[in-house]
Each structure stands twice: as structure tokens, then as C-alpha cells.
Amino acid sequence: MERPIIHVNAFTNQPFAGNPAAVCVLPYAYPDPWMQAVAREMNLSETAFLYREKDGYRLRWFTPKVEVELCGHATLASAHVLWENGQLAPRQTARFYTHSGVLTATLKGAWITLDFPTLIATPIAPPAELVVALGLEPHAVEFAGRSREDYLIALADPATLRTLQPNFTQLAYLPVRGIIVTSPSDTPDYHFLSRFFAPAYGVNEDPVTGSAHCTLAPYWAAILNQPTLTGYQASARGGVVRVQPAGERVYISGQAVTVLRGGLLAH
């Protein structure tokens, strides 16, 4: 029997933009090696697998290389698929059991809002190997921090952020999931810009990283003194993320578009 697999662009309202994720809704848990093999075959930054559990769904995320603890865009894509397929009514909350605890998603109009944990970046001295790998001069770094998952590097100049050409081989040796680089926005449409690099996890540059906004939201809310903010991830594909910090939680909102439906024949 074919297992449906759906290709969704997350954090965008346009096809072929945002961050692509494959979503596979299963009747029960499949073996880990099979899920990793499918993620490698899909060759997207994330492939999400979900199946019914309790009053919601067990949700797991795989890059082409490894399973990850937290992923925003594939969670948003999974919720989008459940509502679009009629597996959840539009007013129902999507409830996911994950390695990062219980995560929820709600739908209002065209926007999906995720309830995610806050991941504060504790200030650190900018690691010299990180600055070099990013191709930066030390004086360009306004702030350096480390969250549970990632390094956070803040720059003053949006043009520097947009033109970064990191050495991904060097970045892959750093002891973190990924590197968030952020700056103020260079357009009034957004409060801040960001990019995200995770070569150690098989993703040199992630197009739009929902989970990075668990760190970006409290950082920029404190600087700009704004309760809600809109960020633009300035990758080649680009994507828009709305955030609202709420203590130990962050509300992360985005849109999603289905671009392809298919079926897995080998399982």
C-alpha cells in the first residue's frame, strides 16, 4: 500500500519559496532506519513523520543526515497537512508529542501559530573559530550568545548578513546544532533579518528556520521593546515569520502552501 507523502513550502504564501518539508502521515510507528532512509531520499532540510498518539500525533523530524530535537517549519507543514486533508477540523488544535515536549498549532485565517519553547541565548565571548568560519571581522559582531541548541551572532549591518558566505566545512566542526546570524531589518516591512546554518546536521543553509525564532524572538523583543515582531529569513528562498514571546513559550506564526502530493511505494 502506498504511504502518502506531501511536499509543503512553509513560512510562505507562495509556491517555491519558504522552507520545503516532506510530511508523511503513518498508520503507526515505522522503524527509525526507514524514516532516516526516506528523509535521505527526499533530500529536503526536514522530513516529518507523524502518527496518532493519545489525543494528538507523535511527530518526529529528520534531516537527510540525522533526527533533530526541534523543528519549526516541518511542524507548521505537518499541521497544515492535517487541516488540509480533513484529519483535523479547522477549529481543532493540532497537538504533537515530540522530543521537545508537547507542541501545539492553531489555525486562524491563512496563518498557523505554533506554541514552542523559549530558547534564550546566554551571552558569550564570540568564539574565534566561529567568527572566522562566518567570514566576519571580530568588530562586526554586536552580540554573541549560545542557546541550548545554537550559537546566536548579531550584526549591526544588514548588508553584511545578506552577503555572508560561510565556510561550511569549518562550521560543521562547531559543537552546536547550528548558527543563527541576525541583524536589524533593512526594510520597514520587518523588524529583523536572520540566516541559519547547520552543516553538522546536513543542512548548509536552512531556508526558513522556525525553531531559530525560539531564540530570535526574546532577543529582539528585549532590544526593540515590542510584544510582537515580524522577521524575514534572508535565504535564497526567503520566508516570513511572526513571533510573540510569552515567558517560557514563544508563539511562532507562518503560512504554508502544498506543492506536491505523492506516495511512497517502498516501505
| Domain extent for 168 | 122-238
CA-to-CA separations, 132 to 79, 163, 260, in angstroms, rounded: 39, 15, 40
Q: Is residue 248 part of a domain?
A: no
- Same domain, residue pair 135 and 232: yes
pLDDT at 219: 98
Across residues 77-97, what is the average pLDDT?
97
- Same domain, residue pair 172 and 198: yes
Q: pLDDT tier at 265 (50, 70, 90 boundaries)?
A: confident
Question: For the segment 148-197, what is each residue's pLDDT rounded down to a tens digit?
Answer: 999 999 999 999 999 999 999 999 999 999 999 999 999 999 999 999 99
Provide the whole-model pTM.
0.96
- Same domain, residue pair 9 and 111: yes
pLDDT at 266 over 80: no
Question: For the segment 102-158, what is each residue's pLDDT rounded down to a tens digit?
Answer: 999 999 999 999 999 999 999 999 999 999 999 999 999 999 999 999 999 999 999
- Same domain, residue pair 17 and 107: yes
DSSP class of residue 199? Answer: G
Contacts of residue 141, Cβ cutoff 8 Å, sequence gap at least 6: 126, 131, 153, 154, 155
CATH number at residue 205: 3.10.310.10
Q: Which helix (H) or strand (E) holds 257?
A: strand 256-264
Q: What share of the chain is helix, strand, coil (3-state, %, to 5)?
A: 20, 40, 35
Catalytic residue among 46, 129, 149, 248: 46
Q: Is residue 158 part of a domain?
A: yes
Across residues 226-250, what is the average pLDDT?
97
Full 3-state SS string of 200-244: HHCEEEECCCCCCHHHHHHHHHHHHCCCCEEEEECCCCCEEEEEE
- Same domain, residue pair 52 and 75: yes
Q: Is residue 246 part of a domain?
A: no
Name the percent of the chain lying above pLDDT 70. Answer: 100
Name the percent of the chain lying above pLDDT 90. Answer: 98
**Separation between Cα atoms, residue 102 and residue 116, nearest integer Å:** 9
**Separation between Cα atoms, residue 177 and residue 171, nearest integer Å:** 10
Q: pLDDT tier at 2 (50, 70, 90 boundaries)?
A: confident
Q: Is residue 247 part of a domain?
A: no
Q: Is 155 helix (H, G, I), strand (E, B) or coil?
A: strand
Q: Is 46 a catalytic residue?
A: yes
pLDDT at 23 over 80: yes
- Same domain, residue pair 219 and 260: no
pLDDT at 77 over 80: yes
- Same domain, residue pair 171 and 225: yes
Into how many domains does the chain fold? 2
Whether 107 contacts 84, CB under 8 Å: no
- Same domain, residue pair 78 and 178: no
CA-to-CA separations, 245 to 112, 169, 197, 216, in angstroms, rounded: 16, 34, 23, 10
